[in-house]
Structure 1
Amino acid sequence: MALSYTARRRWALVILLVGLPVYVVAAVTLVGLIERPSVLVELAIYVGLGFAWALPFRFIFRGIGQPDPEAKKTEEQGPSV
């Protein structure tokens, strides 16, 4: 079942405003549990985790910055009477 453009925009907003801060706190907490690695290793861990959070949500974020494709189809059909 594919999500509509509007649903994907709403889910993207929820993910960015709620999910991302929760993920950041979890990542910092997990890295804090191990002994502090060197700066480069720590940077690599954070960069890797930064990419890892977005991979499951690629289909939601794809095309969000574009205009609504459904609105374009509605405008081409003209007003309904």
Structure 2
Amino acid sequence: MALSYKSRRRLSLLILLVGLPVYIIAAISIIGWLDRPSILVELFIYIGLGVLWAIPLKAVFKGIGQADPNAPQEED
């Protein structure tokens, strides 16, 4: 079952406002548990985790910034 435009838009807002800050806190906590890796290793971990969250959520965010395709067309 595919999500409608409106539900994808609401879900993306929820992910950005709630899920992403939780994910950031978890990523910082994971780095904190390690025995202070070198700055390059730490940088690569942050870059990897920064890309990792977006891959499974790509379908949710795709097309959200555009107009609703199911909305009735306005004629001038």
**Normalising TM by the smaller chain, what interval?**
over 0.9
Q: Which residue of 2 aligns with 1:57?
A: 57
Output the CA distance in 2 between the equivalents of 1:53 and 1:35. 24
Output the CA distance in 1 between the equivalents of 2:62 and 2:16. 14
Percent of aligned pairs sharing the same letter: 60
Unaligned runs of 5+ in 2: none
What does 1:1-80 align with in structure 2 at a 5 Å threshold? Answer: 1-71=1-71, 74-75=72-73
Bigger RCO of structures 1 and 2 (CA < 8 A, at least 6 apart): 2
What is the aligned residue count?
Answer: 75
TM-score by length of 2: 0.93
Write 1 or 2 for the structure with the bigger share of helix.
1
Output the CA distance in 1 between the equivalents of 2:2 and 2:63. 14
TM-score by length of 1: 0.87
Give 4+ residue runs of structure 1 displaced > 2 Å after superposition: none
